[in-house]
Amino acid sequence: MKIAVVGTGYVGLVTGTCFAETGNQVTCVDIDERKVEKLRKGKLTIYEPGLDVIFDRNTKEGRLKFTTNLAEGIKDAQVIFLALPTPPGEDGSADLKYILGVANDLGPLLENYAVIIDKSTVPVGTAEKVRERVAKNAKVEFDVVSNPEFLREGVAVEDFMKPDRVVIGTTSEKAKKVMEKLYAPLVRQGNPIIFMDERSAEMTKYAANAFLAMKITFMNEIANLCEKAGANVDDIRRGIGTDSRIGKRFLFAGIGYGGSCFPKDVQALEKTANEFDYDFKILKSVMKVNEKQKTKMMPHVKAYFDGDLKGKTIALWGLAFKPHTDDIREAPALYNIKELRKAGAKVVVYDPEAMENVRGVVGKKVKYAKSPYEAIEGADALMIMTEWPEFRTPDFDKMEAALKNKVIFDGRNLYELKDMRDLGYTYFSVGRDT
Ligand code: UGA
Residues 113 and 415: their CA atoms lie apart, in Å, by 57
Residue 434 has pLDDT above 70, yes or no: no
Q: Judge if ipTM > 0.90.
A: yes
Mutate-to-test residue for ligand 1 from 153, 248, 325, highest number of ligand atoms within 8 A of CB:
153
Global pTM? 0.94
Mutate-to-test residue for ligand 1 from 262, 264, 412, highest number of ligand atoms within 8 A of CB:
262
Task: Give, as one character, the DSSP assignment of residue 185.
Answer: G
Atom of ligand 1 lying closest to residue 259 CA:
14
* Protein residue with least CA distance to atom 1, ligand 1: 152
Q: Quote the ligand 1 centre to 376 CA distance (angstroms).
A: 28
Residue 212 has pLDDT above 80, yes or no: yes
Which residue numbers belong to the known binding site for substrate? 150-153, 205, 250-254, 258, 322
Exposed (0-12), middle (13-18) or buried (19+): which is 277, by Cβ within 10 Å?
exposed
Q: Where do the domains of the chain lie?
A: 2-196, 205-293, 298-428
Which residue numbers belong to the known binding site for NAD(+)? 30, 35, 86, 121, 153, 264, 329
**Residue 133 to residues 7, 58, 187, 266, 388: CA-CA distances in angstroms?**
18, 33, 32, 27, 45
Q: Which pLDDT score, from 0 to 100, does residue 299 have?
A: 97
Q: Report the topology of domain 205-293.
A: N-(1-d-carboxylethyl)-l-norvaline Dehydrogenase; domain 2 (1.10.1040)
Q: Report the topology of domain 2-196.
A: Rossmann fold (3.40.50)
Residues 64-92: pLDDT tens digits?
A: 999 999 999 999 999 999 999 988 888 87
Give the DSSP per-residue string, 353-396. Answer: S-HHHHHHHHGGGSEE-SSHHHHHTT-SEEEE-S--GGGTS--H
Please state, rounded to an integer, the average pLDDT across all residues of the chain. Answer: 96
In 3D space, the residue among 48, 34, 12, 55 whose CA is nearest the CA of residue 326 turns out to be 48
Mutate-to-test residue for ligand 1 from 216, 237, 384, 391, highest number of ligand atoms within 8 A of CB:
216
Which residue numbers belong to the known binding site? 30, 35, 86, 121, 150-153, 205, 250-254, 258, 264, 322, 329
Residues 142-179: pLDDT tens digits?
A: 999 999 999 998 899 999 999 999 999 999 999 999 99
pLDDT confidence tier of residue 433, bands split at 50, 70 and 90: confident
Q: Quote the ligand 1 centre to 263 CA distance (angstroms).
A: 10
In 3D space, the residue among 262, 165, 287, 281 whose CA is nearest the CA of residue 207 turns out to be 262
* Protein residue with least CA distance to atom 3, ligand 1: 152
Hey, what CATH class is 298-428 in?
A: alpha beta
226 is catalytic: no
Domains 2-196 and 298-428 share a fold: yes
Residues 117-137: pLDDT tens digits?
A: 999 999 999 999 999 999 999
Q: Quote the ligand 1 centre to 262 CA distance (angstroms).
A: 7
